[in-house]
Amino acid sequence: MNTETRIRDEWLALRCQANEPGAYEDLVATLEKPLLYYAIRLTGNRETALDVLQEAWIRALRGIPKLQDAGSIRPWLYSVVHGIAVDDFRRKKAREKVEEVCPELPETSEPETFDAADASDIHVALDQLEPRHKEVLTLYFLEEFTVAEIAKVVGCPEGTVKSRLHHAKKTMRTILTGGKYAIR
């Protein structure tokens, strides 16, 4: 994350902590799209991602006053979204196990849908990655988080993040044909 973004984020967090009028609206306006994109990448579904994001904003409103490092608000919000998405995934997996035992229950999973904007080759390739690889690439390339920041968001050691980035990039190179995309 670049210095300018970190300073702007810190300023927004401090405004929220001071209960300045309009501060929370400014925070949402700044981070809503990138957080939604991240939630969609994690959940594979826009409707679920919107639910995850709604819960994340509720938790954020409660947690921002306690946030000790205002400059880390962006990674903190991503970790909140990550935690909620993981919890949702676990609930769905538990539900699937119950449905395997009780096959007469109707199928509840919805097929993935993508907006026209999500139809690019990069998004399709990204969607083919394992969730753990998808999330680190999203945070690294789109949010420009450092390896340390990603490690905090996903709750694993920095070495694991580096390994996931390496394998995710390698898989993306394999998926993307024609070499028209450069992956750092």
Whether residues 103 and 154 share a domain: the answer is: no
Domain boundary among 113, 135, 169: 113
pLDDT for residue 104 is more than 80:
no
Give mean pLDDT, residues 30-51: 92
pLDDT tier, 94 (very low <50, low <70, confident <90, very high otherwise): low
Whether residues 131 and 170 share a domain: the answer is: yes
The total domain count for the chain is 2
Domain boundary among 86, 113, 140: 113
Question: How high does pLDDT run on average in the chain?
Answer: 81
Contact by Cβ (8 Å): 92, 84: no
Contact by Cβ (8 Å): 148, 116: no
Supply the range of the domain harboring residue 166. 117-184
Contact by Cβ (8 Å): 37, 26: no
Q: Which residue has the higher pLDDT, 181 or 168?
A: 168
Q: Residue 161: which residues within 8 A CB-CB, separation 6 or more?
A: 136, 147, 150, 151, 154
CATH of the domain at 14: 1.10.1740.10
